[in-house]
Amino acid sequence: MLPFKVTNSRIYKIGIYLALAPTIVYITLFWIVPIIHIFIISLTLKDTFILGSPVFVGFKNYEEVFSMYTQSIRNSIILPLSAAFLDLLLGYPLAYLLVRKKILFQNVIRASLVFPYFGDLYISYGLWNMFLPGGLFDIFYYIFGITYRQILYTHYAVILGFSIFTLPFMVLYISSNLQEISPTLEEAALTLGATPVKMFFKVILPLTLPGAIAGFLACFGWNLGGYLIPLLLGGLEAGNVITVKIVHLTLQIHNYSVAAALAVILTSMTIFTTYLTFKITKVFK
């Protein structure tokens, strides 16, 4: 590709590593070292590491986590999973429409899909306002004959907030997968006598499966880090997720070690899902 044959020289290789050096140093100092330190803190007693004289207690904090915070861990798995499933149901038809069909205001719809990326604050605050009496959902409460307490501060409200937050990811992953598939395949299936339903399940679904799975995992991984949505919409019971517990333990109780143990669990969950996402997108390509 290059006009000059420098690819084998040693200077060239040193040059590459030299150019990468500042970035690698920065990442090591501000991402890898903190992540390693979370693991170290999780082995110490309360806030002794922060105060300067760490007392190591082994895996005692993990015992506390697995005896006292099982509900948080369970919530942290169940809520993002159901949100990712809801995203799949909502996002799949939308991605298909955006890629394959001509619809009105296509660009407006694409544009408005970008907003939830940055809108953690607004989604939770807006939904909270809407769910409370006097908000937008009063009509639904009236029609179905329920009170707001049957929706707000339950799992349903958190799942709705989570699914709005990550819907763009699902649509992005599935539509970028659909764009790689030629529409002639669908036409061929139809000319050969498949019904539309059969065509969908035999042709489109198997081909877009990697995108759907990757989108599912990405939604799950992003929602694991959601903080304000479960806090405002979930109340005490449904809002009892790992992130909320970590913030509570660090900023209010100053029990950094248990928080770090929870953070290690959360990090291993996200790293595992990210690894799976990478693996799936690579394998299917």
3-state secondary structure of 227: coil
Report whether 189 contacts 169 (CB < 8 A): no
Q: Is residue 62 within the footprint of other proteins (CB under 8 A)?
A: no
Which part of the chain contacts other proteins (CB under 8 A), choosing from 23-31, 62-70, 139-147, 148-156? 23-31
Q: How far is the CB of 266 from other proteins (least distance, A)?
A: 6
DSSP designation for 46 = T
Q: How far is the CB of 256 from other proteins (least distance, A)?
A: 7
* Cβ neighbours, 10 Å, residue 203: 17
Q: Is residue 27 within the footprint of other proteins (CB under 8 A)?
A: yes
Q: How far is the CB of 236 from other proteins (least distance, A)?
A: 15
Q: Tell me the number of residues near other proteins by CB under 8 A.
A: 99
Which part of the chain contacts other proteins (CB under 8 A), choosing from 61-69, 110-118, 139-147, 149-157? 110-118
Candidate list 5, 8, 11, 52; residue touching other proteins; CB under 8 A: 52
* Cβ neighbours, 10 Å, residue 90: 15
Q: Which candidate, 65, 102, 240, 226, places its Cα nearest to that of 160? A: 226
Q: Which residues pair with 56 in a beta bridge?
A: 44
Spatial distance between the Cα atoms of 229 and 223, rounded to a whole number of angstroms? 9
Residue 134 CA from chain centroid, whole number: 31
Cβ contacts of residue 273 below 8 Å, gap of 6+? 217, 218, 220, 221, 224
Q: Is residue 228 within the footprint of other proteins (CB under 8 A)?
A: yes
Write out the two tokens for 80: 């993002």
Candidate list 83, 127, 159, 238; residue touching other proteins; CB under 8 A: 127
Q: How far is the CB of 130 from other proteins (least distance, A)?
A: 5
Which part of the chain contacts other proteins (CB under 8 A), choosing from 56-64, 66-74, 151-159, 168-176? 168-176
**Nearer of residues 238 and 250 to other proteins, judged by Cβ:** 250
Report whether 239 contacts 158 (CB < 8 A): yes
Q: Is residue 109 within the footprint of other proteins (CB under 8 A)?
A: yes
Which part of the chain contacts other proteins (CB under 8 A), choosing from 56-64, 65-73, 142-150, 222-230? 222-230
